Amino acid sequence: MLTKGLKTLLLGAVAALALSGAAQGGTLTIESWRNDDAQIWKDKIIPAFEKAHPDIKIEFAPTAPKEYNAALNAKLEGGTAGDIITCRPFDASLELFNKGYLASLNDLSTMANFSDVAKSAWTTDDGKTTFCVPMASVIHGFIYNKDIFKELGLSEPKTEDEFFAVLEKIKANGTYVPLVMGTADQWESATMGFQNIGPNYWKGEEGRKALIDGTGKLTDPAYVSTFATLAKWAPYLGDGYKAQTYPDSQNLFGLGKGAIYAAGSWDISTFHAQNINMGAFKPPLPAGATECFISDHTDMGIGMNAKTKNPADAKVFLDWIGTEEFANILGNELPGFFPLSNAKVQLKDDVAQTFVNWRAECKSTIRNSYQILSRGTPNLENEMWNVSAQVINGTMTPEAAAAQLQDGLKKWYAPQQK
Amino acid sequence: MPQGTFLRLLVFFLGPALLVYSVFSIYPLLATILNSLYSHQRDGSYLWNGLGNFQTLLFDPTWSVPFWNALKNNFIFFLIHMCVQNPVGLLLAALLSLPRLRFRATYRTLIFMPTMLSVVVIGFAWQLILSPLWGIAKMFLQTFGLGFLFAPWLGLESSALITVSLISVWQFVGIPMILIYTALLAIPDELVDAATVDGLNQFQAFVWVKLPLIWPTIGLVSILTFVNNFNAFDLVYAMKGALAGPNFATDIMGTLFYRTFFGNQLQLGDPSMGSAVATMMLLIILIGVMAYLFLVQRRIQRYSF
């Protein structure tokens, strides 16, 4: 039975199919979910490539982020997907590779420009085959409004105590929303909340790997404390934060009505467009912690459709993606997306540079639900969205949230069943 | 007419409809049911699984808790439509058919308008209206000193589903209205005139003469509501996303199906389990429609004028 929604989706796929069909014949089509960046691809990235390779034409054909995975799968199954595929990290792309939709890229010469950590999101479990060129990572932290901080005489908080003291002062003043985030879309709570401040508690990679090999549990104090800290955010969030969506949050901060924004670095360009005088500080250290950890998440790779009619040209393009030239364009034109290559990239954007400086000061990790742990049912990432939002909404205790995550993971993940 | 000609005519007139119906309705339906009997493997292949998917869906708590939750929410969604949308539609139709009403066409068009708008537009507009940050609902209540009544309704577990249902009611109330209004128009004036001569006022004439004549239409509206509600998906998806928060308070069969079939963020889609959910939706709708046909439809008396 086809539901109404499915029908709409299929219609969409058919329409997209018709569009992508028109672009064939010497042209490489790029599938992507970054429709926000379409202009930059068209005006900067593609012209730079075509200048060096005038015989290859590139077309950037993005889909809406929410629909990307479903639409891409449908197009690949129907044999109508573009030549170049922008890769989601970890399992979504790994499955495409296992089904034979993505080609191995081991023989690309510029693959040497990437570290193993950068490649880990697009490499098979045995580490032998890499199927997407790592393109960009995103870093979590907090963006703040410098004008408001100046007006209220505040400085960047370094520890959690300072962080809550700053929030308290903004709240006491009453003019601005102290901390901008909503729980309506759920993922904000998990990604900008839990995964943002969490690495300081579970010690980044150490905690993440312990979950994977089964020596760590989501009920460990580190995770309960992360949730407990998240729960303390609630009094400082905007009025009615329970119905505040992600675009609401962006607007609230972008209009200068909020002081601190729980951020992903990709928001930088949004706020630049609204002329916000902003700075950034990394997740403040919990009491007693000396080392800092940041979420420096491998977010975007780019690979080749195994059934492309033009594999030679596609490889030329992907090889170019691995060069320093591309890293420079990406880092500077899309502030907040940080190139993963080892090339030295000078960023012109101060805020983006602040984010990237943390790589030297702190240890990097990726979001702990992304590798392996979200392969079963119930899905760990979905569960994290749900319980993080509930903890902040005050409808669930930190202990109950941690217990629900652990129970769910234990149901299907063997290393956690010992 | 010779038999050959008759057969040719039959094929000519019925063939195209039969073909379109088979290809776009019957085949996907059967394919879905068949698909639900397999289990989808990681490498993309399918293994025969019999009724295993249904057993998992109904009895394994990992699946059954979301399933029963979605089914319960869907029933609430349907009940709100039956208790609000259809009575209001009936009332509006009755008002529209008042003999001395002015601006009839304007009202009719305005009330029917939301039905023709895209769900995405409706979802977006209502999210803005109800937004605790910049929504006019809050300011409106505050103007009358009722600001304390405002809550972030779309974000609370207790009220999110009711809010989404009422938005859907607002959007689709034009359909029962227009169907019932047309049925009311079809009632001959003589009947109403006779009732008036017999001493019935307008209200009595409506209850005792017109209402019995439009029962078949109300039955039709009810069954359409049932089928549409249990196939609903888009409004919840547009307003609350595929995870239908908070804590799955707005999760209905359509969103559960979408999540299962297409996946969400890191959850990979599972076509066979998704087909099992879709088959359950088909069964529920089938049972509802059959119950209506055998228990209600047969007892409705029809009058022809």
Contact A3 B246 (CB under 8 A): no
Residue A182 Cα, gap to closest chain B Cα (Å): 10
Cα–Cα distance measured from residue B31 to residue B41, given in angstroms and rounded to the nearest whole number: 18
pLDDT reading at A25 higher than 50: no
Buried b (16+ CB within 10 A) or exposed e, B233-266: bbbbbbbbbbbbbbbbbbbbbbbbbbbbbbbbbb
- The arithmetic mean of pLDDT across residues B102-114, rounded, is 93
Put simply, the chain B residues between 167 and 186 with a CB less than 8 A from any chain A CB are none
Number of helical (H) and strand (E) elements in chain A, helices listed first: 19, 10
Contacts of B152 in chain A (CB under 8 A): 184, 240-244
Q: Is B126 part of the contact surface with chain A (CB cutoff 8 Å)?
A: no
Phi and psi at residue A179, to the nearest 5°: -130, 125
pLDDT confidence band for A23 (50 / 70 / 90): very low
pLDDT of residue B44: 74
N-to-C CA span, chain B: 33
The Cα–Cα gap between A367 and A388 comes to 14
Test mutation, B266, B283, B286, chain A, max A CBs within 10 A: B266
Mutate to test the interface with B, among A75, A242, A370 (most CBs of B within 10 A): A242
Contacts of A311 (CB under 8 A, 6+ apart): A103, A304
| Cα distance between residue B165 and residue A55, in whole Å | 55
Chain A hits for B248, CB-CB cut-off 8 Å, are 386
Please give the residue of chain B at the shortest CA–CA distance from A368.
B266
Buried b (16+ CB within 10 A) or exposed e, A187-209: bbbbbbbbbbbbbbbbbbbebbe
- The token duo for A8 is 């709409």
Q: Are strands A278-281 and A57-62 parallel, antiparallel or unpaired?
A: unpaired
Chain B residues lying within 8 Å of A395, measured CB to CB: 157, 246-247
Q: Do A3 and B131 touch (CB under 8 A)?
A: no
Q: In chain B, whose CA is at the least distance from the CA of A4?
A: B231
A320: alpha, beta or left? (left if phi > 0; alpha if psi -120 to 50): alpha
Which residues sit opposite A87 in a β-bridge? A301
Mean of per-residue pLDDT scores for chain A: 90
Tell me, yes or no, if B148 comes closer than 8 A to chain A by beta carbon. Answer: no
CA-closest candidate to residue A104, choices A126, A118, A124, A121: A124
Cβ-based contacts of A9 with chain B (< 8 Å) = 262
Is it the case that residue B21 has pLDDT exceeding 60?
A: yes
Q: How many CB pairs under 8 A join A and B?
A: 148
Give, in order, the Cα–Cα distances in Å from B81 to each of B130, B248, B304.
20, 20, 30
What tokens appear for B95 in the block?
């008002």
Q: Is the pLDDT of residue A346 over 90?
A: no
What is the distance between the alpha carbons of residues B50 and B185, in angstroms, rounded to a whole number?
53
If you measure CA to CA, which chain B residue comes closest to A77? Answer: B44
For B161-188, what is the mean pLDDT? 95
pLDDT tens-digit map of A171-213 = 999 999 999 999 999 999 999 999 999 999 999 999 999 999 9
Question: Is the CB of A3 less than 8 angstroms away from the CB of B257?
Answer: yes
B32 to chain A nearest CA, in Å?
Answer: 6
Chain A residues in contact with B157 by the CB 8 A cut-off are 395
The whole-number pLDDT of residue B305 equals 62
B288–A contact, CB cutoff 8 A? no
What is the rounded average pLDDT for all residues in chain B? 92
Find how far residue B161's CA is from the centre of its chain: 15
- Asked if the bond preceding A378 is cis, omega within 30° of 0, the reply is yes
Residues of A in contact with B224 (CB under 8 A): none
Distance CA A18, CA A14 (A): 6
Q: B294 CA to chain A: closest CA distance, Å?
A: 23
Other CB atoms within 10 Å distance of the CB of residue B102 = 7
Per-position DSSP letters for A35-67, written without gaps between them = GGGHHHIIIIIHHHHHHH-TT-EEEEEE--HHH
Put simply, the answer to whether B153 touches A66 (Cβ < 8 Å) is no
Burial of B158 (0-12, 13-18, 19+ CB in 10 A): exposed
Q: Is B28 on the interface with A (CB under 8 A)?
A: yes
pLDDT above 80 for B304:
no
What residues contact residue B160 under an 8 Å CB cut-off, 6+ apart? B153, B154, B240, B245, B246, B249, B250
Cross-chain residue pair B157–A379, CB shorter than 8 Å: no
- Asked if B266 lies within 8 A of A243 by C-beta distance, the reply is no
What pLDDT shows up at residue B68? 97
Q: Exposed e or buried b for every residue in B207-221, given b needs 16+ CB within 10 A? A: eebbeebbbebbebb
Q: How many CB atoms lie within 10 A of CB B287?
A: 10
Residues in A closer than 8 angstroms to B241, CB to CB, are: 66, 185-186
Closest-approach residue (CA) in chain B for A379 = B267
Contact B133 A380 (CB under 8 A): no
Report B:56-85 residues touching A (Cβ under 8 A): 62-63
d(CA A125, CA B215): 64
Instruction: With a cut of 80, say whether residue A320 has pLDDT above it.
Output: yes
For residue A368, what are the contacts with CB-CB under 8 A and spacing of at least 6?
A195, A198, A202, A207, A208, A211
Q: What is the pLDDT of residue A137?
A: 93
Residue A378 and residue B262: Cβ atoms within 8 Å? Answer: no
- Cβ-Cβ contacts under 8 Å for A57 (sequence gap 6 or more): A26, A27, A28, A50
For tokens 């292949």, the residue is: B45
Model confidence over B121-140: pLDDT tens digits? 999 999 999 999 888 999 89
Tell whether the model's pLDDT for residue A14 goes beyond 50. no
- Neighboring chain B residues of A242 at a CB cutoff of 8 Å: 152, 155-156, 246
Does any CB of chain A come closer than 8 Å to the CB of residue B159? no
Q: Please name the helix (run of DSSP H) or strand (run of DSSP E) that holds residue B44, with its range, or none.
A: none
Closest CA of chain A from B202, distance in Å: 41
One-letter amino acid of B154: L
- Which of B265, B275, B281, B283 to mutate to probe the A interface, most A CBs <10 Å? B265
Mutate to test the interface with A, among B133, B230, B277 (most CBs of A within 10 A): B133
List own/partner pairs for A191-195 with CB under 8 A and 24 or more apart.
A191/A140, A191/A264, A191/A367, A192/A140, A192/A262, A192/A263, A192/A264, A193/A230, A193/A233, A193/A262, A193/A388, A193/A392, A194/A226, A194/A227, A194/A230, A194/A384, A194/A388, A195/A140, A195/A295, A195/A297, A195/A367, A195/A368, A195/A369
Better-scored residue on pLDDT, A36 or A244: A244
Compute the average pLDDT of residues B49-60: 94
Domains parsed from chain B with CATH numbers? 36-299 (1.10.3720.10)
Nearest to B233 among A5, A66, A95 (CB): A5
Residue A6 has pLDDT above 80, yes or no: no
A150 near A259, Cβ under 8 Å? no
Q: Give me the residue from A2, A243, A377 closest to B152, CB to CB.
A: A243
For A98, name the nearest residue in chain B, comparing CA atoms only.
Answer: B43
Which domains occur in chain A, in start order? 11-137+298-359 (3.40.190.10), 139-296+367-416 (3.40.190.10)
Q: Collect all residues of chain A within an 8 Å Cβ-Cβ radius of residue B138.
A: 240
At B69, is the pLDDT very low, low, confident or very high (cuts 50, 70, 90)?
very high
| A3–B231 CB contact, under 8 Å | yes
Choose among A98, A186, A377: nearest Cβ to B62: A377
Across the interface, of A95, A243, A381, the residue whose CB is closest to B132 is A243
Q: Does B230 touch chain A (CB under 8 A)?
A: no
Length of chain A: 418
Helix axes B119-130, B160-172, angle to 10 degrees: 130
What's the complex ipTM? 0.89
Residue A347, amino acid: L
The fraction of chain B above a pLDDT of 70, given in percent, is 99
What pLDDT shows up at residue A17?
A: 44
Helix axes B271-291, B211-230, angle to 10 degrees: 170
Which of A66, A70, A395 minimises the CB distance to B247?
A: A395
Q: Give the mean pLDDT of A77-105.
A: 92
Q: For residue A29, what are the β-bridge partners?
A: A59
Chain B residues inside the 8 Å CB shell of A385: 243, 245, 265
